[in-house]
Structure 1
Amino acid sequence: MMTNDKFPYLGLKASTDPAQIAERLRYSPTVFEFFTTPADCTPAGLNHLQKMIEWVQHTTHRIVIHHPMSYRGHHVEVSTPARIDPAMAQFVTTSTQDLLKVAREMDVQLLIHGSYNAPVQTINLEFGDVATGRQAVLDELDHWRDVGGDHIMFENSISPIYPYSDPVFNQAILAHHYRLAFDTSHTFIAAHGNNDVLVASLQQLAPAIVHYHLVDSMGQFHDSLPLGQGRIDWARVWPTLNQTATNIYEITLANQLDSTAQRASHTYLEHIKAAAK
């Protein structure tokens, strides 16, 4: 694995709220990720997003736009069939096109989730079975890969239709030549808290990974813990990371105007890095 003395980066995440952004910029992050909502995909929202990106670009050019997580109270599943939810399907198309336009114009990255946490019952209802659901996701991601090029990346989920915990499916993902965003907690949860599966997945997918969400977890549900507070074995994870990628610490904050937990996670991983030398 190629080493980079500057990796891991201090990567922080915020909404497009100026107060949150100002708090993050106080610590001079090397990587900045915008957590967007449907409001950011309106004409006024897109204009505001561009202004906030311009502001952050005074500090860093390593910027990621995280596609909205939810729409009308439901997770944004990119493979949602139009016959099931035409409004969601239309939102996926329109919002992705609009955010990609911003990403190109501002020379930043757009991150899209391949899925979130669609349960097997929902997958079977919409697609018939998991295998068909996985193919629907790959078909959708193929489209956005071709449209987005070097400005788009795809993140894994805890849903069985787009996890990174299955080595056979991982091989299929690699064959599609996607630029991958790897969330450590999502893989750990999908692997039911198995560090062996997490480490194997990180090693297998490393050549395609361009961005990490470094997050701890107990491996049972989506808990987004600071590093060192869950069950992920970071001493084993560290050597597997592709150090040509970027990273943020996607930690749940009790107060969105206090990024202490994100920054403490960076300090924790720096200690792991130092101990590995």
Structure 2
Amino acid sequence: MVMPMLGLKGSSDQQQIDDRLQYHPDVYEFYTSAADFTPEGYQRLDEAVQYVQSKGIQRIVIHHPMVYHEWHSEVVAPEKNFPELYRFIETSTEQLIALAKKRNIQVLVHGGYAGKEVQEMVSLYPSVEKARQAVYKRLDRFAKAGGQHIMFENSIAPVFAYGHPEQEDEILSHNYRLAFDTSHCFIEMHGDNQALQASLKHLRDHVVHYHLVDSMGQTHDSLQLGKGKIDWAPVLKLLNPNASSIYEINLHDQWNCREQVESHRYLTNIAKKLMQGEQRES
């Protein structure tokens, strides 16, 4: 077990970046929106990446935009039914991969999101399995294009969820570089800590990045660590020590990352107690 790293998330807004950088994080993850993919927005995002790098932060992740107009950026969306959304996901992913290669950073793409929207999209396929295969086919293309610069995050949706061993085996067969959101898996498993731990253990060697987030295990609540029902001590022992991580917590104020920093303090205290216990046993 290693001590958790300080990973913070914010947009390319200078005030948000400077708020995060005052804590000297090990990892910075950029939140993006559709506005970052206009020529001006893309230039601003590139400049923001370079600024963060100039402060000595080498581990940088750019999160693919969550929404486009009224839709979530669902890779399962069929092109014939959602041509504009489909094209946006294609072009924005291409842009992010190009930026990631140029600046030697990482891109995170969601395998899916959650809710009625994705259910309606999945229903446009003959079966859930057909919808899932369509997602894999698209992610296979992105993986080939992005190489060691792209990763895929789990959802609370039937097309790309962790927690189900058979589905995890299928995901592993594609040899994807994985991002693991603890809250998404916990919610998918209806608040079952043992199932979360089994998934962390099963996927560990393929995970390159974690979103450390607490949850009550029912809905997408994105809680500060210690405020939900995840048992963090076993989780700490199951993280891939070579992976990066951030605290993806809902903030009261987007220009103050207090809840992310307090989550790190909480997890670090648990890690210290675990290490002290290990030292006593040895």
With the length of structure 1 as denominator, give the TM-score of the two structures: 0.96
Percentage identity across paired residues of the two chains: 48
Deviation by residue 1:250-272 (Cα, 9 ceiling, x = unmatched):
00001011111000101111111
CA contact (8 A) 1:189 1:219 kept: yes
Please give the residue correspondences for 1:8-87 in structure 2 after superposition, counting only pairs within 5 Å: 8-59=4-55, 60-87=57-84
Instruction: State how many pairs are aligned.
Output: 273
Task: Note the aligned Cα RMSD (angstroms).
Answer: 1.1
- For residues 120-159 of structure 1, the C-alpha deviation after alignment (integer angstroms, 9 at most, x for no partner) is 7414422122111111111111111111000000000011
Q: CA deviation at 1:29?
A: 0.6
- Secondary structure class of the residue paired with 1:63: strand
Instruction: Kindly provide the amino acid, as one letter, of the partner of residue 166 in structure 1.
Output: H
Query: What amino acid is aligned across from residue 16 of structure 2 in structure 1?
Result: Q
In 2, Cα distance between equivalents of 1:35 and 1:121: 25
In structure 2, the residue matched to 1:117 is 114
Provide the rounded CA distance (Å) in 2 between the counterparts of 1:87 and 1:118: 20
Match of 2:172 in 1: 174
Matching residue within 153, 156, 166 for 2:154: 156
Matched, 1:98 2:130: no
How far apart in 1 are the matches of 2:46 and 2:122?
Answer: 39
**Unmatched runs of 5 consecutive residues or more in structure 1:** none
Q: Distance in 2 between matches of 1:139 and 1:177?
A: 13
Summarize the alignment of residues 89-238 of structure 1 with structure 2, pairs less than 5 Å apart. 89-119=86-116, 121-238=119-236
Retained in 1: the 8 A contact 2:72–2:113? yes
Q: Secondary structure at the match of 2:208?
A: strand
CA contact (8 A) 2:183 2:215 kept: yes
Q: Relative to structure 2, which stretch is displaced further, 119-128 or 37-46?
A: 119-128
Equivalent-residue separation in structure 2 for 1:36 and 1:179 (angstroms) = 21
- Secondary structure of residue in 1 paired with 2:220: coil
The one-letter code sitting in structure 2 at the alignment partner of 1:196 is Q
**1:7-50, Cα deviation, whole Å (9 max, x unpaired):** 41100000111110010011111100000000001111110001
- The structural deviation recorded for 1:165 is 1.4
Q: Is the CA contact (8 Å cut-off) linking 1:36 and 1:68 kept in structure 2?
A: yes
Displacement of 1:113 in angstroms is: 0.2
Contact residue 77 and residue 121 of structure 2 kept, 8 A: no
Does the Cα contact within 8 Å between 1:123 and 1:130 map onto a contact in 2? no
2: CA distance between counterparts of 1:246 and 1:124? 32
Contact 2:113 2:157 in 1 (8 A): yes
Point out the more displaced range, 184-193 or 122-131.
122-131
Partner in structure 1 of residue 279 of structure 2 = none
Provide Cα deviations, 1:186-212, integer angstroms capped at 9, x if missing partner.
000111111111000000000000000
Q: Which whole-Å CA distance do the structure 1 matches of 2:97 and 2:121 have between them?
A: 27
